Homo-oligomer: A and B are copies of this chain.
Amino acid sequence: MKDLNISHSQELEVRWGDCDAAGIVYYVKYFDWFTDGRVALLKHINIPYQKSFHEQGITVVVIEATCRYRKNLKSEENFILWTKLARFSRTRMIFDYIITKPDNEQVVAEGRTVHTFVDNAGKPFNIGKNYPELWEKLSALYE
């Protein structure tokens, strides 16, 4: 698995529904934002998830997810979600995430998700073998 450094950032706002009874963002919601980061990054590099994966019968399942929380966020606060496609191979994708306050300095949270490709029956497969065109498009990112 080669190293890669493709990233995308977006400014988002904490929604009322993101917060729990402690008045701060529920820790679970950060993982939902990570999904938003992945989807935005893939769209940004012209491999939109819905069209290039989901509608082709590919599910990019999560096999590991981690988040470290440094600061809290409250409803209506803005934040920056920075997503990086760290590494990928024919059977893996690794995304890293950093969430900061809008000043871009105070880190709110950092995370990572590791993915593999499975078909509609839930079986893992080699994307280079089963989807050579998509693999070509992905591997061009290294060049």
Contact = CB atoms under 8 A, between A and B. Distances in A.
The main secondary structure of chain A at its interface with chain B is: mixed
Q: How large is the interface on A (under 10, 10 to 19, 20 to 34, 35 or more residues)?
A: 35 or more
A139 interface: no
Interface in A35-77: 35-36, 39, 43, 48-51, 54, 59, 61-70, 72, 74-76
A19 B54 CA distance: 12
Interface-central residue, A27, A64, A74, by most chain B CB under 10 Å = A27
A21 B122 contact: no
A1 interface: no
A132 interface: no
A103 to B, nearest CB: 18
A25 to B, nearest CB: 10
A65 B27 contact: yes
